[in-house]
Amino acid sequence: MQPGMESTLHRQLKSLYGGASGEQEVRVDGYWIDAVADGRLIEIQRASLSAIRDKISTLLQSHSVTIVKPLAFRTFIVRRNRSGELPVSERYSPTKRSMFHLFEELVHFGNVFPHARLKLEVLLVEQEEHRIACPRRRFNGPDYKVEDRILRKVLETQSFQTAKDLLNLLPKGVPARFTTADVAGEAGIPRWLAQKMIYCLKRANSIERMGNAGNSIIYSKKRLRRWAA
């Protein structure tokens, strides 16, 4: 996709969350907002949350905001040599994302979330990605450009507003005192992603460090009130 071009997926989510009575592409406090519904600002963000960190931080001073964040649990890839031609291949990508990948985004969004006026609506989606063949710009770069992304279906939706909401993502099988290895094992995620999860939970003050076991740090949950930061 060309920089600045809106994907079909973005338009679909904008219509879904803006609603029939909502406004789309609205200018608020000097920023363009995807939609406004029932007085709440709606921002669809497929790219990194860090890209809208300053924008959202400013808007939260006087507005309620919902960020809609799609995560591609499954991607069906349609590849063409040129735009408009018949596909040369169609397949599912082996790469999958889960709700735990939200923490990959929150690592760079901690000064904004949690906030009493902010809601994160995270969607696990199946998407269709249309690729057009092109020469590599770098030795190890892609040999295609993305022409469009299309929403096939929403598989799961979770809302996050508080540190407690994030804490609820800890797998049920994690012991009362746990390490990043415990989290990775119970969640079935890589250790590096479990480390990002623990970093975000600790920064949100929803877990605390209890000590060490060898080279591993031991953590424990905190008791949180509804709007604990």
Question: For residue 93, what pLDDT is reported?
Answer: 97
Of residues 150 and 214, which shows the higher confidence score? 150
For the sheet containing 207-213, what is the strand order? 177-178, 216-221, 207-213
pLDDT tier, 229 (very low <50, low <70, confident <90, very high otherwise): very low
Above 90 in pLDDT, residue 210? yes
Q: What is the pLDDT of residues 128-175, one digit of tens each?
A: 999 999 988 877 788 899 999 999 999 999 999 999 999 999 999 999
Distances (CA, A) of 8 to 4, 46, 128: 13, 12, 10
* Residue ranges of the chain assigned to CATH 1.10.10.10: 171-221
**CATH architecture, domain 171-221:** Orthogonal Bundle (1.10)
pLDDT score for 137: 80
